[in-house]
């Protein structure tokens, strides 16, 4: 079962939502977006998915891209903050990510919100792809470009609307 939905804004197509049964088409979809094998890819995930599914996703992405790194942070809403974003920025800087490189948000709403916010603000904006892994993130946080982090006890007080280049759902 393969399904594609195009998300439009003001009558213009912005990005596609692909619904698949596995990750087999992910590298091809990234190629369709114009990303060559020389682009750097950073897969951002939390500790839950790191241990369960990251190796499978990395294997698929590494089949085409030469430079794939990952950034993992502890699972939980309390990690959706500027300190975690700062650590991600440092990881990107140390790995020499530039405006041509891509972030992949691999996880639920916290991962998607945090990665999208980092993508919107790192170097004034780099591309990112959403791979939502929970039902809630598939219908809410991965669609529409809502990104953000919490400040102290205030939810989503710092953020941006920043559209992904692709939403890839593995049912």
CA distance 148 to 156: 5
pLDDT band at 135 (very low <50, low <70, confident <90, very high): confident
Listed range (62-66, 86-90, 92-96, 120-124) with the worst mean pLDDT: 62-66
Q: Provide mean pLDDT across the span 39-46.
A: 97
Tell me, what CATH number does 98's domain have?
3.40.50.1970
Q: How many domains does the chain have?
A: 1
Give burial (CB, 10 Å; 0-12/13-18/19+) of 148.
buried
Indicate the helix (H) or strand (E) that contains 130: strand 127-132
Q: Tell me which residue range forms the domain holding 76.
A: 3-170
pLDDT at 12 over 80: yes
pLDDT number for residue 6 = 92
CA distance 45 to 49: 6
Q: Provide mean pLDDT across the span 40-44.
A: 97
Cβ atoms 82, 158 nearer than 8 A: yes
């Amino acid at each position: 079962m393969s399904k594609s939905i195009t998300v439009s804004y003001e009558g213009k197509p912005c990005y596609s939502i692909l619904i698949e049964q596995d990750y087999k088409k992910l590298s091809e979809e990234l190629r369709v977006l114009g990303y060559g094998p020389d682009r750097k890819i950073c897969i951002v995930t939390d500790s839950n998915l790191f241990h369960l599914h990251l190796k499978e996703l990395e294997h698929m992405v590494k089949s085409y891209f030469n430079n794939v790194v990952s950034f993992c942070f502890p699972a939980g809403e309390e990690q959706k903050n500027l300190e975690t974003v700062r650590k991600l920025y440092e990881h990107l800087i140390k790995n020499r990510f530039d405006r041509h490189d891509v972030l992949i948000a691999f996880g639920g709403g916290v991962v998607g919100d945090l990665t999208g916010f980092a993508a919107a603000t790192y170097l004034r904006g780099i591309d990112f792809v959403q791979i939502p892994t929970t039902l809630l993130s598939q219908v809410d946080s991965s669609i529409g470009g809502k990104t953000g982090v919490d400040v102290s006890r205030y939810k989503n007080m710092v953020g941006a609307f920043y559209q992904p280049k692709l939403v890839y759902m593995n049912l």
